[in-house]
Amino acid sequence: MTRITGNKKLKRQMAPVFWGLDRKNKRFAITVKPGPHKKNYSIPIAVLLRDKLKLASTLRECKSVIYNGKIIIDGITRKSLHHGVGLMDIIELNKVLDIYRLIPVHGKMLSAIKIPKEEKSKKIIKIISKNTIKKNKIQIGSHDGRSIITDLKVNVGDSCLITVPQQEILHVLKLEKNCKILIIRGTNAGKTGTVEEIKNGTFLLPKQVTINLGNNKIEIPLDIVMVIGKDKPVLTIK
C-alpha cells in the first residue's frame, strides 16, 4: 500500500533557519505534518519545546510532556510531536507559569515571547478568504486554518481579535490608512508601523502597502503584513 501520512523525519540541513536547530548535532529532525499552518511557516511542537523554549533537553522528554497532554495550543490540548504551531499561536504548559505567543522578532519569522495571563484566551487572526453563504452570512478563512461564520463586515486583509478556543470575534481590525500593522515575513519581519497608502495590484504585481516605520518608509506586498490595531496593538507583541 502507498504511504499517505508523509515522511516523519527531515534532514536538519533542510530545516528552516527560524527553527533554531543545531545542524551539526544529529542528522534528522522532527518534521511538521499537515495542519492549521503552512509547513514552511510553522514549527513542530517537539522542536518548539526543545530548541526554541528550552523547556526540554531531549526528544524523550518532549514525548513525555506531549503524550501526557501537558501542552495546550490556543486552548486545545495537542498530543502530536508533529503538530505545527505558527504565527500568533498561544502556548501553555501545565505547571508552568509562563505563557507564550509566537510572533516574528528581529527578522526571524517565529519567536516565542511571554504574554500576560489575561491574554491567553485572545488571539489575532488575519483574514485570507471570504465567501457568502446561505442567509447572507459571511464565511471567513484565517491564516491559521480557521473557518468562522459571521454577520460582521470584514474584508480579505483585515484582522480579527478572537477568543480561543471558542472563536468568538471580539473586534474587527480594518486594513485602512493609519492602522497599525506587523510585518510577518521577510527581512523586516517583526517591525511594526503605520499604513500610509494601499495600492491595488495588477495582473503581475500583488497588492502593495506603503508603511511608515518611523525612521523610514517601505513598500511591500500586502500578504506579508498583519493588522494588529487601529492606534496601537490590541495585544502584546513585544
- The mean of the pLDDT values for the chain is 90
Does 81 map to a domain?
Answer: yes
Among 76, 100, 119, where does a domain finish? 119
For residue 3, pLDDT over 60 is answered with no
Does 235 map to a domain?
Answer: no
| pTM score over 0.95 | no
Does 236 map to a domain?
Answer: no
pLDDT band, very low/low/confident/very high, at 214 (cuts 50, 70, 90): confident
Cβ atoms 72, 89 nearer than 8 A? no
**Predicted local confidence at residue 6, as pLDDT:** 60
Q: What are phi and psi of 74, to 5 degrees?
A: 50, 40
Which segment, 12-26, 115-129, 190-204, is predicted with the most confidence on average?
A: 115-129
Cβ atoms 153, 171 nearer than 8 A? no
Rounded to whole angstroms, the Cα distance separating 88 from 79 reads 20
CATH number reported for the structural domain that contains residue 93 in this entry: 3.10.290.10
Cβ atoms 148, 133 nearer than 8 A? no
Q: Which of 83, 108, 103 is nearest to 18 (CA)?
A: 108
Give Cα separations from 39 to 19, 84, 207 (angstroms).
12, 7, 24
In this predicted model, what pLDDT tens digit does every residue of 118-136 receive, in sequence order? 999 999 999 999 999 988 8
In this predicted model, what pLDDT tens digit does every residue of 151-190 receive, in sequence order? 999 999 999 999 999 999 999 999 999 999 999 998 899 9
Which residue segment(s) compose the domain that 224 sits in?
A: 180-229
Q: Which of 85, 181, 175 is nearest to 130 (CA)?
A: 175
Tally of domains within the chain? 3
- In the beta sheet, which residues pair with residue 100? 91, 114
Shared domain check, 28 and 63: yes
For residue 1, pLDDT over 50 is answered with no
Does 51 map to a domain?
Answer: yes
Shared domain check, 107 and 141: no
Does 234 map to a domain?
Answer: no
Cβ atoms 225, 210 nearer than 8 A? no
For residue 115, pLDDT over 80 is answered with yes
Shared domain check, 99 and 22: yes
Does 147 map to a domain?
Answer: yes
Rounded to whole angstroms, the Cα distance separating 170 from 127 reads 14
For residue 109, pLDDT over 80 is answered with yes
pLDDT band, very low/low/confident/very high, at 23 (cuts 50, 70, 90): confident
Task: Kindly state the average pLDDT of the residues 31-59.
Answer: 90
The more confident residue out of 12 and 223 is: 223
Shared domain check, 16 and 109: yes
Shared domain check, 44 and 112: yes
Cell of 87: 504565527
Please enumerate in sequence order all residues whose Cβ is within 8 A of that of 97, keeping only pairs 6 or more positions apart, or say none. none
What percent of the chain has a predicted confidence (pLDDT) above 90?
A: 66
pLDDT band, very low/low/confident/very high, at 33 (cuts 50, 70, 90): confident
Shared domain check, 115 and 17: yes
In this predicted model, what pLDDT tens digit does every residue of 52-77 receive, in sequence order? 898 888 989 999 999 999 999 999 99
Does 238 map to a domain?
Answer: no
For residue 5, pLDDT over 70 is answered with no
Shared domain check, 127 and 69: no
**Predicted local confidence at residue 9, as pLDDT:** 72
